[in-house]
Structure 1
Amino acid sequence: MIYLVEDDESIRNMMMYTLEASGFEVKGFENGKSYFQAMLMNHPDLVMLDIMLPDMDGIEILKKMKKDPEMKDIPVIMASAKGTEYDKVIGLDLGADDYLAKPFGMMEMVSRVKAVLRRTKPDPEQMVLQAGDLELDLGAHIVKVHGQRVQLTLKEYELLRLFMENINRVFTREQLLSNIWESDYFGETRTVDVHVGTLRTKLQDCGSYIRTVRGVGYRMEIPQ
């Protein structure tokens, strides 16, 4: 989940649309007050924070986050039309993980988000994803069904990882294409259906975890 704090509605909507099209779940906020209200309920994986805001500015929000033990480790990307060296240095000195000077390209934004998440996520060598009778060892790139290893192609593995990292989240075929085949792939969404089909077969009875959402795409559900 990404929280986006940006008071300009048109810019906020464009950023949210691009991030969602790239496979991210996003919530947008127009000011610091609504943002901190949401933080009381759930913490995101990353915050994109504009400096110029109508109530408290981005620097003030960042300071408040870094003083809070529960928020201080959440990665933050600052964004501002003030593309001055001073603003950039202040933000980074206060603990921001990256800085985008407006105007910036949407693809550059997505690239920066992915880079920050790669740097700040737990070491994949230590992570094993578990979903029902499925196990995915991120460090060793090993997938097991009922404790028995199965062989997947790279794209099948990446699809399974995306589903297991986002249980119950629906992905459109276009989002899966963007995430797994990257933006330079111009194939048809039929490619996704074929790979999901072969992945289901290789996962045996656990293949039923990957559910088709009619007219939309796919999601992974773990039976209760």
Structure 2
Amino acid sequence: MKVRTAVGTHEPGTVVVAEDDVDIRDLVQLVLEGLDLDVVAVGNGADALEACREHRPRLLLLDVTMPVMDGLETCRRVRADPELKDLRVILMTGRALRRDFEAGMDAGADSYIVKPFGPIELRELLEH
């Protein structure tokens, strides 16, 4: 699996998933664990930042609409943090308009996946 990371600063098999919908979070976790990845699952952006600082993951899968801190703000804070700025960030959202995609990219996301998505789509995104 190819990922953008800060060399030597991440846990190679760890992914942080930030998603407030428990069913989606469970599905994503199941798919990732099926790829032999360790998953740290949280329900909001503030917890995602804390988990990233603690676990130094190779990837952050980030829902756009969450309580406490939304995904766009979380992504901006990841990019502003010198120790996390090279972390690969994939946004997950139900928003499929071009302006939503552009807002995610402007916040610093590397990729974007629109819900609902299936396990195959998620695997393919992670492999590129």
Shorter-chain TM-score: what band?
A: 0.7 to 0.9
Cα deviation, 1:47-74, whole Å, max 9, x if unaligned, reads: 0000000111100001111111111100
2:123 to 110, 116, 127: 110
Partner SS, residue 35 of structure 1: helix
Unaligned runs of 5+ residues in structure 2 are 1-13
Q: CA deviation at 1:106?
A: 1.2
Residues in 1 aligned to 2:49 and 2:24: alpha-carbon distance in whole angstroms: 20
Which residue number in structure 2 is paired with residue 38 of structure 1? 51
Partner SS, residue 3 of structure 1: strand
1:94 aligns with 2:107: yes
Structure 2 counterpart of 1:88, which letter? F
1:142-157 paired onto structure 2 within 5 Å: none
Which residue number in structure 2 is paired with residue 70 of structure 1? 83
Q: CA deviation at 1:25?
A: 1.5
Q: CA deviation at 1:102?
A: 0.8
* Cα-Cα RMSD: 1.1
Structure 2 counterpart of 1:93, which letter? D
Residues in 1 aligned to 2:47 and 2:92: alpha-carbon distance in whole angstroms: 18
8 Å CA contact 2:91, 2:111 repeated in 1: yes
- When normalised by structure 2's length, the TM-score is 0.84
8 Å CA contact 2:53, 2:84 repeated in 1: no
Which residue number in structure 2 is paired with residue 152 of structure 1? none
Partner SS, residue 16 of structure 2: strand
Partner SS, residue 41 of structure 1: helix
Greater relative contact order, per chain length (Cα 8 Å cut-off, separation 6+): 2
Q: CA deviation at 1:85?
A: 1.1
Residues in 2 aligned to 1:95 and 1:33: alpha-carbon distance in whole angstroms: 17
Residues in 1 aligned to 2:42 and 2:122: alpha-carbon distance in whole angstroms: 18
Aligned residue-pair number:
115
C-alpha spacing 1:62/1:19, structure 2 compared with 1 (3 Å): same
Which residue number in structure 2 is paired with residue 17 of structure 1? 30
1:82 aligns with 2:95: yes
1:59 to 72, 76, 83: 72
1:47 aligns with 2:76: no
Which of the two has higher C-alpha Rg? 1
8 Å CA contact 2:46, 2:74 repeated in 1: no
Cα deviation, 1:95-124, whole Å, max 9, x if unaligned, reads: 211100111121111110121xxxxxxxxx
Unaligned runs of 5+ residues in structure 1 are 116-224
Residues in 2 aligned to 1:65 and 1:107: alpha-carbon distance in whole angstroms: 27
Report percent identity of matched pairs. Answer: 34
Residues in 2 aligned to 1:49 and 1:76: alpha-carbon distance in whole angstroms: 7
Which residue number in structure 2 is paired with residue 7 of structure 1? 20
